Amino acid sequence: MQIGKGAVAESHICQAYADRVEVRGRDLTGDLMGRISFTDYFHLLLTGREATPIQREFLDVLLVSIAEHGMMPTNIAARMTLAADPGSLQGAVAAGILGCGPVILGTAELCAKLLVEARGKGGEPLAVAMEMAAAIKAAGGKAPGFGHPVHRPVDPRAERILELTDARGVSGAHVALARAFREAVAKAWGKPLVMNVSMPIAAVMLDLGFLAGMVKAVPLLARTASILAHLVEEQQSPIGFLMAGKAEEAISYIKDDKP
């Protein structure tokens, strides 16, 4: 029994043969290995096209910007999982990645959807952003890409991305909307909120021709590299159980009264 919509039974990504591997129509060993970087390859896998120099440059910038951020839940979950099962490197990586939702890392995807919706409305960017930010605030929602528990008054990663987009002539309609949302959110919330790194990641990717559904792939790939670094360190200098002990110390146990 078929579940969901029917689709053509085909894939355009890869086929392995006895004597070769073909990826997106290129011979893996003859056309790709030794010729392109992993960033180029990531772009090819994701889009089916080879990256332009500017796409390659900014994919590198964005991957570097979001890969590492200290003892975040993604890295803590991974390290504690490896401590519990030292032989399951892949399980520990998966544990970290499973935490990449709408609060940690997944916000870039929400930003992309917001910018695409705003772009679809047409009109002057600031007016559109003002209308949408006011609606989000009135509904009791949170503005994707704004606010950060550590970085104040600005997120240095976000500002560096925006600086580079201007310097390289990459800033387009979505970057303009991101900047408009910064002003609009400040007005709707009655105070400036930090534009965090997720908003410019989404804006730059959209301006470089990526689809909104591809945006989350960048933080996921980048953070996987970071998780692996934490897990190698965990193997060499374990702190997973130390973190568990600190959590036990930090949380107070309150004994309930007997009924």
Q: Which residues does 226 contact at the CB level (< 8 Å), separation at least 6?
A: 67, 68, 69, 74, 75
Q: Where are the domains of the chain?
A: 14-51, 53-101+221-244, 107-214
Burial of 83 (0-12, 13-18, 19+ CB in 10 A): middle
On the question of pLDDT at 171 being above 80, the answer is: yes
Residues 210-226 pLDDT 10s: 999 999 999 999 999 99
Residue 234, CA distances (Å) to 96, 113, 225 in order: 14, 36, 14
pLDDT at 103 over 80: yes
Question: What does the pLDDT read at residue 99?
Answer: 85
The mean pLDDT value of the chain amounts to: 95
CB 162 within 8 A of CB 176: no
Query: Quick check: 1 pLDDT over 80?
Result: no
pLDDT at 104: 84
DSSP, collapsed to helix, strand or coil, labels residue 88 as: coil
Query: 73 with 99: CB under 8 angstroms?
Result: yes
**Predicted confidence (pLDDT) at residue 259 exceeds the cutoff of 70:** no
Closest CA to 158 of 96, 111, 118: 111
Is residue 199 scored above 90 in pLDDT?
yes
Distance, CA of 229 to CA of 243 (rounded, Å)? 17
- % of residues, the chain, pLDDT over 90: 91
Average pLDDT over residues 131-141: 97
Model confidence band, residue 149 (pLDDT cutoffs 50, 70, 90):
confident
Instruction: Report whether pLDDT(258) > 90.
Output: no
Residue 110 has pLDDT above 70, yes or no: yes
Structure tokens at 99: 């935490």
Q: Which pTM value belongs to this model?
A: 0.92
124 has a pLDDT exceeding 70: yes
Q: What is the pLDDT of residues 42-69, one digit of tens each?
A: 999 999 999 999 999 999 999 999 999 9
Q: Which pLDDT value is given to residue 4?
A: 75
Cβ atoms of 78 and 93 within 8 Å: the answer is yes
Kindly list the distances between the CA atom of residue 2 and the CA atoms of 7, 9, 10, 21, in Å, as whole numbers in the listed order. Answer: 11, 13, 16, 31
Superfamily of domain 107-214: Cytochrome P450-Terp, domain 2 (1.10.230.10)
In percent, how much of the chain has pLDDT > 70? Answer: 99
Partners of 14 in beta bridges: 23
For 63-85, give the DSSP string.
HHHHH--SS-HHHHHHHHHHHH-
